[in-house]
A and B are shown apart, each in its own frame.
Chain A
């Protein structure tokens, strides 16, 4: 039986850094800049930090790289990489570490310069020998097949799915840091070029540079800080598969 950790930790600071098309900074610098800005947002300093949680495809030990860049020696580090959900998983890992008293103030950070470096997603070293020969675009083709299956199972239409990109463009139009602010229509999405059937160019997220960080601490310390704490009510992570052939039987229809 696990302890109930709901509300035991709080997010007390958050920041982004170097969001944009071009950057001269390294990924480590961008992560550190985001971390420092998030700490400033919380009214804390780098010497308060005793937990580092970091992920990026650029380093094989991102939490160690970030600790070096910040010049600190944390008691707890975690570089778990489970893809795009990593930083959400880190919130849960930090919750457990803080609730266990293993650290008190943790920074959770991510950064990437994929736009400048490749103009496309850098997917790391995995070769996936049973999939790569068939020419899928990683990770786009995986999502394309899920979309194809969803349309088959539930009768979902391309028009309905285009509304995801339309909604994203509406949110972007209200975000001063957004790189593209023009409002999309369903017709715009459906008229864009086909990338991996049925996904079209405007269905697919932008590849950008930038970093982000949040600061979390226990609820007692959070109450003493400048901003109203945001309590973490829960965090969890299921892992289904990486290779598509490992897709769970329940997903096969």
Chain B
């Protein structure tokens, strides 16, 4: 689950990192993966240590 700075919380996947490095409370940024011509799915990637 990712809680956005704006308030809402959404289910997502944390991408572009080893699963063991995912921690509760870590800062992440959104990225979009194209699932079809019409749909892009939001994923999140680590902020590279930034808080």
Contacts and interface: CB of A to CB of B under 8 A. Distances in A.
Interface of A: 130-131, 133-136, 145, 148-149, 152, 197, 243-245, 247, 252
Chain B interface bracket (under 10, 10 to 19, 20 to 34, 35 or more): 10 to 19
Contact of B9 (A148, A197, A247): A247
A245 B35 contact: no
B23 to A, nearest CB: 9
B35 A133 contact: yes
Nearest to A129: B39
A245 B24 contact: no
Interface of B: 1, 3, 8-13, 19, 24, 35, 41
Nearest to A149: B24
A247 B10 CA distance: 10
A131 B11 contact: yes
B13 A245 contact: no
Contact of A133 (B8, B24, B41): B41
Given A130-B10, A245-B9, 9 more contacts: A131-B11, A134-B11, A135-B13, A148-B24, A152-B24, A244-B1, A244-B11, A245-B8, A252-B9
